[in-house]
Structure 1
Amino acid sequence: MNSDSETPIAELRGTSKHYGAVVAAQELDLSIRRGEFLSFLGPSGCGKTTALRMLAGFETPTSGEVLLDGQRVNHLPPHQRPVNMVFQHYALFPHMTVAENIAYGLRQRRPQPDKAGIAEAVERMLETVRLPGFGNRRIWEMSGGQQQRVALARAIVNQPKLLLLDEPMAALDKKLRRDMQIELQSLQRQLGITFVLVTHDQEEALSMSDRICIMQGGRIVQVGTPRELYDRPLNRYVADFVGKSNFFSGIVQDGALVVEGLRVAAAPGAGGTGATASLRPEQIALSRAPVEGMVNLPVRIEARIFLGEHTEYLVRHDRLGGFLILVPRQAEAAEGGFEPGAEAHANWRAEAALILAE
């Protein structure tokens, strides 16, 4: 028998959700580990929020099971689950102070803690989310980032075993979103609570998660660490959604993927079969002349985008039907960079391109 530490904190087993003829989630199988930070990642309508709401108890599965701590909870209402949720727009009570918002969950418990215990817990949460002294503030007096911290404090004050986050940073500007990502990671490590995040932002998922669950069309496509998904995507959809990539589709000939007569990738396998390769931008270099031992593609610089720590180049190769490649180049090196309109060679190791399943 598994010990508590080995039992997943939550599981979806063949879990589906239908709304009439609309399939929102289809046969989801997922095991969520204790203490991990897991993200559901995918475009709008892929089923990630439906999965989150079934874990929370706001949606009842049409079929399959939802388990928390090894117990089936399909028809258990949200307030009877060891789970709490932070919504995209925080859902704070505007008529209450910050302290009253945080204390709300404690006051719903039976038996209810005494006033001194509630006050102590609220102060502890304010310290945890770095808002000491803000207890008497009104919600409308708080910034977006501060409101998010209040929502987090309200969600964790009851010490849930599972904290669900439904795109909680969508309304924040880029810099504040980055700051909050760091704070959420620190908070998760400090509390040891399992965090499950829903996001469509790949950078957010990659930077914060222990594991990521990629979803498409109501189904789970691949689950893995950020590095696994980036380095070994199962198919083009995952490679395209996790990070940036260039794709080549062609025919396998003599151990190489050939596109329009050009050998662009190593491709062991049966000759004559169609295949697609993914090539990450950082695998590509630009040079003024061909480089021996590399795949060399004559290109024209279409655009140069300076991003501070590196420069990205958008290049065109007419023989590939105007195919565009995004090439990052670390802070302009000795060659001095390339101007738009210039001719150059994009080069990479043939083994750097990953052959994908169709």
Structure 2
Amino acid sequence: MGEQNDPIAELRNASKHYGDVIAADNVSLTIHRGEFLSFLGPSGCGKTTALRMLAGFEVPTSGDVLLDGQRVNDLPPYRRPINMVFQHYALFPHLSVFDNIAYGLRQQRPRLPKAQIARAVDKALETVRLPNYGKRRIHEMSGGQQQRVALARAIVNEPKLLLLDEPMAALDKKLRRDMQIELQTLQRQLGITFVLVTHDQEEALSMSDRICVMQGGKIVQIGSPRALYDNPSTRYVADFVGKTNFFEGMVTATGDSCQIRVAGFNLSANAPRALAIGQTASLCLRPEQIALQRNPSSEDRITIPVTIAARIFLGEHTEYLVKNADLGAFLVLVPRQAEAVEGGFEPGQMAQASWRDGVGLILGND
């Protein structure tokens, strides 16, 4: 990842309006040289608009876009040191793989020698692990191979910034996972700054140096994957970044350790934002913070009886949907090793769900 004091691109109070619709609302963000940054959020949150303003496909209604410290609002996309990989790759079906990758190089003025173009294309194909594929037609390539061709076309010009607009949305789960690893490797190998747009939280968590979570055209939190997962600042972020359970209650004490009254329990946890006594809030517990046992734990833990409602085996762990008369339904993730010790549970069986008081976060319901 690039140095924190070495920005390659910035959005400064950038907004984009389409009539009465505000697609991006006063977005300010510094992108560091050499980092892998992701915009994460649901459809319509503004992430693609932010990406398109960086690329030059959209001009901010107000605010500025900067590249290497220079304002580029009026600079067209083809004049920016940026390339983009689109969701559906946008490859030319009538051209060979070689000609698709060489297309951008052939548009440069003054014209590049044919031998130089050929060397650059061959190097790009080697980089994306498609050597000797130059003569293939696009329709002869699989989805994963087409994505690599799109990547090769994007990196052959050696851009300072590579923008990725949900490039793995059309791939199956296993291939998407393989391509996530390849993209990370490629980014480290090339040293190019990558900016990814995705609605897939797992994709953002597994690939990014930093994640920019968006909602309603605004940035609501920026941080490392671990920081966002462990310390979300709002219920929205906690709900969008990873799986979580919310137990609603009322704040009964504030200070270094906040307390919330939930279904007859006074529970303690940290609160990332100031809360008031009497305020409605939620205890946020990740499914892996909860244990599932047949007998009540002897440890100093919050323990409640539950009924197993559903069981999903996921290989490395099992996901249980459990129900409690007061707390309702919630998720518990049991690692394979823990389940081997305790034994698995079947729907309809009774169990004890427990967690250590103090874990989780107390978040306002706004």
For the criterion TM > 0.5, the same-fold answer is yes
Contact 2:267 2:358 in 1 (8 A): no
The Cα offsets for residues 145-171 of structure 1, whole Å up to 9 and x where unpaired, read as: 101101001111110000000000000
RMSD of aligned alpha carbons? 1.5
**In 1, distance between residues paired with 2:267 and 2:312?**
25
How far apart are 1:253 and its partner, in Å?
2.8
Q: Which runs of 5+ in 1 are unaligned?
A: none
User: TM-score, normalised on structure 1?
Assistant: 0.95
Name 1:47's counterpart in structure 2: 46
1:318 aligned onto 2:325: yes
SS in 2 for 1:154: helix
Name 1:263's counterpart in structure 2: 266
Name 1:330's counterpart in structure 2: 335
Q: Do the aligned partners of residues 6 and 353 (structure 1) sit closer, same or farther apart at CA in structure 2, a change above 3 Å counting?
A: closer
How far apart are 1:264 and its partner, in Å?
3.9
Name 1:223's counterpart in structure 2: 222
Q: Which moved more, 1:243-252 or 1:195-204?
A: 243-252
Identity of aligned residues (%): 71
User: TM-score, normalised on structure 2?
Assistant: 0.93
How far apart are 1:10 and its partner, in Å?
0.5
Contact 1:161 1:194 in 2 (8 A): yes
Name 2:285's counterpart in structure 1: 279
Contact 1:252 1:267 in 2 (8 A): no
How far apart are 1:21 and its partner, in Å?
0.4
Name 1:342's counterpart in structure 2: 349
How far apart are 1:107 and its partner, in Å?
0.6
Contact 1:56 1:83 in 2 (8 A): yes
Matched letter for residue 324 of structure 1: A
**In 1, distance between residues paired with 2:116 and 2:320?**
59
How far apart are 1:343 and its partner, in Å?
1.3
Name 1:135's counterpart in structure 2: 134
**In 2, distance between residues paired with 1:5 and 1:349?**
37
Q: Do the aligned partners of residues 123 and 296 (structure 1) sit closer, same or farther apart at CA in structure 2, a change above 3 Å counting?
A: same
How far apart are 1:42 and its partner, in Å?
0.3
The Cα offsets for residues 291-350 of structure 1, whole Å up to 9 and x where unpaired, read as: 231011111110111111111110001123xx2111011112322122211111110011
Name 2:248's counterpart in structure 1: 249
Matched letter for residue 291 of structure 2: A
Q: Which moved more, 1:331-340 or 1:85-94?
A: 331-340
**In 1, distance between residues paired with 2:158 and 2:125?**
14
**In 1, distance between residues paired with 2:12 and 2:83?**
21
**In 2, distance between residues paired with 1:197 and 1:267?**
32
The Cα offsets for residues 235-259 of structure 1, whole Å up to 9 and x where unpaired, read as: 0000000000001121123553111
1:110 aligned onto 2:113: no
Q: Do the aligned partners of residues 5 and 262 (structure 1) sit closer, same or farther apart at CA in structure 2, a change above 3 Å counting?
A: closer
Q: Which runs of 5+ in 2 are unaligned?
A: none
How far apart are 1:32 and its partner, in Å?
0.2
